[in-house]
Structure 1
Amino acid sequence: MKDSSNLDADRQTIAELAPAKVLRVALNLGNPILVQKDPVNGQLAGVTVDMSRDIGNRLGVPVEFKEFDSAGKVSQCAMQDVWDIAFLAIDPKRAVDILYTEPYVHIEGTYVVTQASTLRNQEDIDKPGVKVAVGEGTAYDLFLSRHLQHAEIVRFETSEASLQQFSGQGLEVAAGIRQPLEHFARDEGGFRVLEGYFTLIEQAVGCPRGRPLAAAFLSRYVQQAKQSGFIADGFRRSGQPPLFIPPAGAA
């Protein structure tokens, strides 16, 4: 595993990052690009797991993973002293409670439709009568809530639930992250993923507001981890397809 360059943290910074003497990390299991859980032994893997352990090693504190099934549930408890760092898409609504680093990867938000659907491209979606299934509180739910003017958003508890249930409830389209949608369409049959994307989801590391030293450390960490190739190696090791990792310093 390629390591990023040395990154020092003083006592005050460590206290902000791990006030309970352990780094509590919120993992969104609803995003399989970033974290994977073995269904047999429960072992966690993925780039966010690697980054969490690397940060814990640098701070000299143990890491405790807090598992969530959706990003919305992670952001909802940002100010409740549940977690110290989280891996979430940057969004202005979440930024009320969360301080973000620059993005460490961009992920396409797109749509899957039934094969019989007359919807052919991104521009076809925002029309009266179209109902879009989403996982409640996801980055694409928040984005579409701001941008769709005519289509109706139908929310499910998790992204997985939206995929499993949307066609059975008479909906012809679901929004999500491209790679899981492509897996779903390939495995289930009778579905297709639209070309292009409606948004590029900027994934970043975040901490609760009120921890400026922690935020500054995480920002430096992400820059160095991108520069060193640590993040790119993490995606490759977890078997993810090539993803766009913005250069260090990119907003």
Structure 2
Amino acid sequence: MMTFSHPVRLARTALLAIAIIGSLGVSARADGEAKLLAPSGTLRVGIYPGSPSSMVTDAAGKPHGLSYDLGAELAKRLGVPMDYVRFQRVADIVTAIHDGQIDFTVTNATPARANDVSFSQPVLAIELGYLVPANSPIAKIEDIDRPGVKIGVTKGSTSERTLPAKFKNATIVPAESVKVAIAMFGRGEIDLYATNKPTLFEISDQMPGAQILDGNWGAEHMAIAIPKGRESALPLLNRFVAEEHSSGALDTIQQQAGLRGATKATRE
């Protein structure tokens, strides 16, 4: 019996060493990912109020949203604290990410924005549409392109860049924020508002009688945006997105944020 005890001890020691080395490797990798995605030691999450794709508050005053909740989930996975940085518009967040002031947000992954930030695989696809106030003479999309019709869009948004080419007679009117746009309706400064449908549903909840017109003028492909130069973290982010889908966590986030008008994204 004593003859074999030494080799057995050696085998056990070797297995323990392998386990320790493996755990150290995982720890080092996780630490490296955290330093890459949150180099300040804190994951800085860019949010703006008024859109379920970013941040809204429920009836109890609790915040929810894609950027808000996915940022919290990623920070937990990385093992780092999180700091929400609030902006008025998504365009300002994209600029802050480009300048390295923000680490994370979820936004429309357009080719123009891809020049300034790096994107994960799509998280969700969201229809783009139009909202009209109560008693509007505009009943369908075909009624929009007429002289004197004023289409509100968020300043610096995809809508502002895209819609001028679609309309030859209607006028595009930029608004500083979604909150400002609601006030512009009351003053007669805009006749309808164009953006993604989840945001339009949020606006309609605050404007009795408002309607979202049938149909759409395209779709946004929402993805995680991070600063350029951190592309080696994209495989981690893509796994993160896939796991949020498969676990049902993304469905829960959508429900809590009241995100309506979204479909599953097609991922590469």
What TM-score, normalized to structure 1? 0.82
Q: Structure 1 67/188 Cα, relative in aligned 2: closer, same or farther at 3 Å?
A: same
Counterpart-to-counterpart distance in 2, 1:147 and 1:222 = 33
1:32 matched residue in structure 2: 52
The alignment status of 1:125 with 2:144, answered yes or no, reads yes
Identity of aligned residues (%): 25
The alignment status of 1:107 with 2:141, answered yes or no, reads no
**TM-superposition CA deviations, 1:129-163 (whole Å, max 9, x none):** 43211111223333324544443211011122113
Counterpart-to-counterpart distance in 2, 1:238 and 1:54 = 15
Of 94, 102, 106, the residue aligned with 2:113 is 94
Counterpart-to-counterpart distance in 2, 1:17 and 1:189 = 42
Structure with the bigger percentage of helix: 2
Of 5, 23, 36, the residue aligned with 1:16 is 36
Residues 53 and 63 of structure 1 are in contact (CA less than 8 Å); yes or no, is this contact kept in structure 2?
Answer: yes
- CA apart distance, 1:171: 2.7
How do residues 147-226 of structure 1 correspond to structure 2 at under 5 angstroms?
A: 147-185=166-204, 187-226=206-245
Unpaired segments of 5 or more residues in structure 1? 1-5
Counterpart-to-counterpart distance in 2, 1:173 and 1:138 = 16
Of 54, 60, 74, the residue aligned with 2:79 is 60
Question: Which region of structure 1 is more displaced relative to structure 2, 188-197 or 145-154?
Answer: 145-154
Q: Which structure has the greater CA radius of gyration?
A: 2
- Runs in 1 of length 4+ with deviation above 3 angstroms? 8-12, 37-41, 114-118, 126-129, 145-150, 182-187, 237-243
Residues 105 and 204 of structure 1 are in contact (CA less than 8 Å); yes or no, is this contact kept in structure 2?
Answer: yes
Paired positions, count:
242
Residues 125 and 220 of structure 2 are in contact (CA less than 8 Å); yes or no, is this contact kept in structure 1?
Answer: yes
SS of equivalent residue, structure 1 residue 219: helix
How well do the aligned residues superpose, as a CA RMSD in angstroms? 2.8
Unpaired segments of 5 or more residues in structure 2? 1-25
- CA apart distance, 1:244: 1.5
- CA apart distance, 1:194: 0.8
Residues 126 and 262 of structure 2 are in contact (CA less than 8 Å); yes or no, is this contact kept in structure 1?
Answer: yes
Q: Structure 1 148/228 Cα, relative in aligned 2: closer, same or farther at 3 Å?
A: farther
SS of equivalent residue, structure 1 residue 132: strand
- CA apart distance, 1:34: 4.0
Residues 156 and 162 of structure 1 are in contact (CA less than 8 Å); yes or no, is this contact kept in structure 2?
Answer: yes
- CA apart distance, 1:207: 0.2
Counterpart-to-counterpart distance in 2, 1:77 and 1:27 = 11
Q: Structure 1 151/242 Cα, relative in aligned 2: closer, same or farther at 3 Å?
A: closer
Q: Structure 1 25/145 Cα, relative in aligned 2: closer, same or farther at 3 Å?
A: farther
Residues 53 and 106 of structure 2 are in contact (CA less than 8 Å); yes or no, is this contact kept in structure 1?
Answer: no
Residues 114 and 172 of structure 1 are in contact (CA less than 8 Å); yes or no, is this contact kept in structure 2?
Answer: yes
- CA apart distance, 1:235: 1.6
